Structure 1
């Protein structure tokens, strides 16, 4: 039965843009439902979302719900959902409540998924116009976005590894160049500064840059190149790590920068919304008002002009690469769009995962994140202190948590991201659950991750680019991740198409689990936080990566302990 035909007896109405509820009072029949409700609302909190009135969280059109009526039906359904029921969400629209059981996910979400031959923007746009679909990006449509912090540490890990590979770890007196300071790109300035480097970025939308300035992710904004470069050179000479934004279109700004003798970045990347050639990237010569209007009245013209601009943009990036500057794609599919526009050598620019992140994925390491449903900053501080103590032998975790507590501004519910590997995610989850149980933390905690993780994505131009065995486009692993998390008892599970690279280019799974202090939560955490990172080890071991194979053989082969995964090595032909 359609949820639209179900009698909804609750009376509370929530408004997109308003903060999520805080504290111990429930609006639902249980903490799993309450967590889903609060995180949906947190995604659309005005402090967090790009455009909450349109239900857009980030990425141009990455939405949390399909329409305002759908949003209200979801929030009402979550309020009436029983503890042995699951709510099914089809591309941002609630379609049914089904009887399951207590350890089943309370919500199961599928966003933007199309059959292969029809998995393209044209067909998706047709369906979206008919009100039949929405684009869920990654954590937007799975209700676990925590603002720009969600990608800060991953960006930091990437930049840090790049400095180690190319400059023996020396970042002082160097700067990173990029463009795009929106939902994902907004992490870049702070991540660069945390490495000890400066950052110079271009942003077409002043409001986005000002949002980063307000949250202290960005230090300075300029309207002209000369002023920006003067400030940057001053910081570089003094050995200070500062971040600067120039307001303008990167296709106008970057060619002018290339002409300057003092423009010598040490690393170059890009995080414009190039994955979406109509609703993301802003073409050269367009004001924001013009592009908004033409996206509705003449989207094909916008797409044509976007591809022309992306071609110019990528040619500039190739010029920088040709000058010997490490230049990499940061997962926004700009290379594929440039190739579509006729730039045949676009893929000479390598992706960030095979260049810098894959060794972490082989260890089951990835973006563990959690949010405090109490809304109390004091609870986050207690969690940070406990995790510092738990991981006292991990230098990089010590450094990150100390810096994060000082520099990361809270957007919406207090939250933290922490890259953890197999085994360590479970330790952290059980510790947080125990703190809730003991009353050290005043309310349950939501634990999740980005979809950009070690074993949850099939994305040949990002997470699975250049796999050792050539299995870049094999999507079975992402599906198995979703299935395994459902079977393990995650609180809600999602499966999306497109993500940060666009329609036709990726399939990916997300999971969230609630630590409510109960014994049942402890058991679910043991299963989910063991299986989920183990999936990354299975995936990379099967592809032939020795690090993953060694971990699998040493820790998983033939194990019989409760909650331990089992690794069965694939028989490879000579």
Structure 2
């Protein structure tokens, strides 16, 4: 494809909140650098980020860059970066440009990583105050956040499977109850509605709820319980799928709901930023203005008050579970926080991954997200249709792509999230690359994923909770995922600590690859989109999951053929794993 190259005598200056550049004109020296620059800016687009002026993308304090000078220095470095160089980012600060080669990643990012004994919020907070570190969350610090859409399908798949297990798939006249409508929780109202159910949520920050209302992820906001419940009852009786939010603190509102005769949710979960009690969770009794002020003046008191509120919150969730309502943790570490303040049975609430998602992980299935660097929504429509044509017999893909374009609004650059398995991620990536090559899609496409993936995370209270062999806390797999994606030629690779569950609780890797229509991109896509999902199969096969071992065995019996790149990975271990009773320390801290 023809591209107008612009090599400015001075670098272009951007402001956090400003939309990313669109179209074919480059302000960098190559599409890989351009993609990184545009995605960093897209993370902080005012349509996408929660607090772009503070460089915060989502999750309490998940940032895209450490400071404003660091933000400008990263953009300057990306504009100057050669096609055989790699930029190194240390917790949101650019530290070096190194000579590599054309197929190496253009950017390597490491965020929030601390040596084990010091991997806690207290030590992190000291470093952050000194300007030495930032919290990268998952896709905030790896520049592949796409707004609330980023986890909509994963949440949808979770709710869909939960309704299948508990209600034989019947969603009409039922509703999901949850709390928190931030960058992650904001996906839950829409995901519930897409299953055909209603949603009732509590959000303490009205501005966040209004942001979800504006983007179409939420249908109604209410300031009092009675009006919200009346609207919910009307929707349920009419068989409508509607999402409703009550503004207030969960510690105030949930005990009132528990006393009502008309409060009967079908599924219960939570998506507050409980992983970060100081800067994420809002304690009972605090207004939003007060909590912002007290976080600066008395952060320890905020943390202590938040922990007490979290304890109350989890006790209320346990009460719902005791009433026989399916209640599950959605990966924000709220159970561990509650246990620290005396809720000894907090882990009676199970996690969403072992309950509903692990069978997908065992097959190498996980989030495949792609972004149109053109900024043209027509390119996204073409990609959606092409992918529906590519997978005509995949009922789940057909179902999702028939729903998502109708309900998911564009935030920032046009993007889509689509859960795909081993082999299918490669087929999709190669198709998008061919569409760029032919001009059917007008600009290169960024392909990435959440770190919540089948083989890239060690998180004993979320992605790797209750592994069959007890290997919940083994982080080697996340490191190998990062190493393998670097070796395979991903466009940028990240490795983070703590995303989603907080310091000390997880290590996770992310990857992004650019489909620019070139033959070189095709070769890189074959390597990366083969290896990355295969890592999920390797990880779960090693842990003793039979479905993963079956897939791995099938691949081992195939010949290595040049025209079948996705049959290349070989799972080598024949070791028998002890699958006896698991009595490890993950829930005894």
Q: Give the TM-score taking structure 2 as reference length.
A: 0.95
SS of the residue corresponding to residue 185 of structure 1 reads coil
Distance between the aligned counterparts of 2:447 and 2:305, measured in 1?
41
> After superposition, what is the alpha-carbon deviation per residue over 1:98-144, rounded to whole angstroms, capped at 9, x for unaligned?
00000000000000000000000000000000000000000000000
The answer to whether 1:358 aligns with 2:362 is no
Alignment match, 1:390: 390
Alignment match, 2:536: 536
The 10-residue stretch of structure 1 (292-301 or 549-558) with the greater mean CA deviation from structure 2:
549-558
> After superposition, what is the alpha-carbon deviation per residue over 1:154-178, rounded to whole angstroms, capped at 9, x for unaligned?
0000000000000001010001000
The answer to whether 1:404 aligns with 2:408 is no
Alignment match, 1:572: 576
Aligned-residue offset at 1:396? 1.1
Structure 2 stretches of 5 or more lacking a match?
Answer: 1-7, 579-589
SS of the residue corresponding to residue 523 of structure 1 reads helix
Alignment match, 1:414: 414
SS of the residue corresponding to residue 495 of structure 2 reads strand
SS of the residue corresponding to residue 138 of structure 1 reads coil
Distance between the aligned counterparts of 1:203 and 1:561, measured in 2?
53
Residues 172-571 of structure 1 correspond to what in structure 2 (within 5 A)? 172-557=172-557, 559-562=559-562, 563=565, 564-571=568-575
Contact 1:10 1:76 (8 Å CA) reproduced: no
Contact 2:202 2:248 (8 Å CA) reproduced: yes
Contact 2:224 2:247 (8 Å CA) reproduced: yes
Distance between the aligned counterparts of 1:314 and 1:193, measured in 2?
25
Distance between the aligned counterparts of 1:11 and 1:504, measured in 2?
39
Aligned-residue offset at 1:570? 3.1
Structure 1 stretches of 5 or more lacking a match?
Answer: 1-7
Contact 2:543 2:577 (8 Å CA) reproduced: no
Distance between the aligned counterparts of 1:188 and 1:44, measured in 2?
22
Aligned-residue offset at 1:567? 1.2
The alpha-carbon distance between structure 1 residues 208 and 479, as it changes in their structure 2 partners (threshold 3 A), is same
Contact 1:455 1:478 (8 Å CA) reproduced: yes
The alpha-carbon distance between structure 1 residues 559 and 569, as it changes in their structure 2 partners (threshold 3 A), is farther
Contact 1:153 1:418 (8 Å CA) reproduced: yes
Distance between the aligned counterparts of 2:205 and 2:386, measured in 1?
39
Distance between the aligned counterparts of 1:544 and 1:235, measured in 2?
45
Contact 1:339 1:345 (8 Å CA) reproduced: yes
SS of the residue corresponding to residue 472 of structure 1 reads coil
Distance between the aligned counterparts of 1:507 and 1:556, measured in 2?
29
Distance between the aligned counterparts of 1:110 and 1:341, measured in 2?
32
> After superposition, what is the alpha-carbon deviation per residue over 1:68-127, rounded to whole angstroms, capped at 9, x for unaligned?
000000000000000000000000000000000000000000000000000000000000
Q: Give the TM-score taking structure 1 as reference length.
A: 0.98
Distance between the aligned counterparts of 1:172 and 1:12, measured in 2?
52
Aligned-residue offset at 1:11? 2.5
> After superposition, what is the alpha-carbon deviation per residue over 1:502-537, rounded to whole angstroms, capped at 9, x for unaligned?
000000000000000000000000000000000000
Contact 1:10 1:80 (8 Å CA) reproduced: no
Distance between the aligned counterparts of 2:385 and 2:286, measured in 1?
48
RMSD of aligned C-alpha atoms?
Answer: 0.9
> After superposition, what is the alpha-carbon deviation per residue over 1:524-558, rounded to whole angstroms, capped at 9, x for unaligned?
00000000000000000000000000000012356
> After superposition, what is the alpha-carbon deviation per residue over 1:450-485, rounded to whole angstroms, capped at 9, x for unaligned?
000000000000000000000000000000000000
Aligned-residue offset at 1:572? 1.6
Distance between the aligned counterparts of 1:297 and 1:218, measured in 2?
34
Alignment match, 2:123: 123
Alignment match, 1:72: 72
Matched pairs, number: 567
SS of the residue corresponding to residue 429 of structure 1 reads helix
Contact 2:11 2:79 (8 Å CA) reproduced: no
SS of the residue corresponding to residue 416 of structure 1 reads strand
SS of the residue corresponding to residue 343 of structure 2 reads coil
The 10-residue stretch of structure 1 (564-573 or 405-414) with the greater mean CA deviation from structure 2:
564-573
